[in-house]
A and B are shown apart, each in its own frame.
Chain A
Amino acid sequence: LAKTTQPISMDSYEGQEVNITCSHNNIATNDYITWYQQFPSQGPRFIIQGYKTKVTNEVASLFIPADRKSSTLSLPRVSLSDTAVYYCLVGDTGRRALTFGSGTRLQVQP
Chain B
Amino acid sequence: GAVVSQHPSWVICKSGTSVKIECRSLDFQATTMFWYRQFPKQSLMLMATSNEGSKATYEQGVEKDKFLINHASLTLSTLTVTSAHPEDSSFYICSAKDRLSGNTIYFGEGSWLTVV
What residues make up the interface of A, taking CB atoms closer than 8 Å to B? 32, 34, 36, 41-46, 49, 87, 93-94, 97-103
Contacts and interface: CB of A to CB of B under 8 A. Distances in A.
B106 to A, nearest CB: 6
For chain B, the bracket of interface size reads 20 to 34
Interface of B: 1, 4, 6, 34, 36, 43-46, 49, 91, 93, 95, 97, 102-110, 112
B104 A102 contact: no
11 contacts: A34-B105, A43-B4, A46-B1, A46-B104, A46-B107, A49-B104, A93-B102, A94-B103, A98-B34, A98-B46, A99-B46
For the residues of A in contact with B, the DSSP-based class is loop
A93 B1 contact: no
A87 B107 CA distance: 13
Contacts of A101: 43
A32 B6 CA distance: 26
Given A41-B91, A93-B103, 11 more contacts: A34-B103, A34-B105, A41-B112, A42-B110, A43-B4, A45-B107, A46-B106, A100-B43, A100-B44, A101-B43, A103-B43
A44 B44 contact: yes
Contact of B104 (A34, A44, A103): A34
A64 to B, nearest CB: 14
Contacts of B103: 32, 34, 49, 93-94
Contacts of B6: 43
A42 B43 contact: no
Given A97-B46, A100-B45, A43 B97 contact: no
A34 B1 CA distance: 14
A98 B110 contact: no
A74 to B, nearest CB: 19
Contacts of B49: 97
A44 to B, nearest CB: 5
